[in-house]
Amino acid sequence: MKTSSAEPPPNTVITIATTFAKPLDESMHTRLQKEMNDLLDDGVLSLQWRSLDAGPVRDSFAHLVVANFIGDCVPSFDDPSRHLAPVLGFTHVSDGRIIPFLEINCDHVAALLGDGHTGATRAQRIEFMSRALAHVLAHELFHVLMESGGHSRFGLAKSHMTRGDLVDGSLVFEKDDLSRLKAKLTGANVVLSAQKSGAQHDCERCDPKKGSER
């Protein structure tokens, strides 16, 4: 949804540093990034991606969020053992504040989708999972970037997603939410660095309770 080929202002670039418990194949990776770009890259906001699976990332970023994907992100949809509790993603909280580390539970996303899509082909699974993971990631990213556990009534920032919402290609952020996000992002410019393990935040101090969930 880019409307301009000009370089975005540096403070509207959101860097997503990912780790995957089970490596994604290239097609899934590409699809996930495309889904996220469709949701957030509007010519003002811009996403860039880094992988922490290849080693530490040390650089200067305006807005860096570390996203851990746990479980199997390209699963079969018809494994009954996958019928798990539906906590799809959450942000970490430390000292009462949301910090830029979030987790997406691919097994739980797959369990929710699988109930309605048994027998889906691999291509369909990639399509559904990519969109669903992008929706969960975008939702949690919004919490992190806004430094708030608050929700909106509609759109991707609402508190509860149905199975249909997860794969609904027309579900986007409300215009007001995107405006608030842009205003928030352009107000600060911080330098962070992160790596896959032993990240610079102290995991033992992360509140295991979910900062947000859906």
Considering the complex, state which of residue 14 and residue 126 has its C-beta at the smaller distance from Zn ion: 14
Residue closer to Zn ion, measured from CB, 92 or 117: 92
Compute the least distance from the CB of residue 148 to Zn ion, in Å: 9
Nearer to Zn ion, 58 or 209 (CB): 209
Interface of this chain with Zn ion, residues 19 to 58, rule: CB under 5 A? none
Closest CB 165 distance from Zn ion, rounded Å: 13
What residue is closest to Zn ion based on CB?
Answer: 212
CB nearer to Zn ion: give 31 or 214. Answer: 214
Rule CB under 5 A: say whether 105 interacts with Zn ion: no
Site track for Zn ion across 183-212, x = CB under 5 A? -----------------------------x
Instruction: Give the interface size with Zn ion as a residue count (CB under 5 A).
Output: 2
Q: Closest separation between CB of residue 8 and Zn ion, Å?
A: 26
Give Cβ neighbours of residue 158 (< 8 Å, ≥ 6 apart): 151, 152
Q: How far is the CB of 206 from Zn ion (least distance, A)?
A: 17
Q: Least distance to Zn ion from the beta carbon of 88, Å? A: 10
Query: Looking at beta carbons only, is 12 or 212 nearer to Zn ion?
Result: 212
SS3 per residue for the chain: CCCCCCCCCHHHEEEEEEEECCCCCHHHHHHHHHHHHHHHCCCCCEEEEEECCCCCEECCCCEEEEEEEECCCCCCCCCHHHCCCCCCEEEEEECCEEEEEEEEEHHHHHHHHHCCCCCCCHHHHHHHHHHHHHHHHHHHHHHHHHCCCCCECCHHHECCCCHHHHCCCCCCCCHHHHHHHHHHHCCCCCCCEECCCCCCCCHHHCECCCCCEC
CB of 211 to Zn ion, least distance (A): 9
Structure tokens at 82: 């996958």
Nearer Cβ to Zn ion (18/212): 212
Residues in contact with Zn ion by CB under 5 A are 212, 214
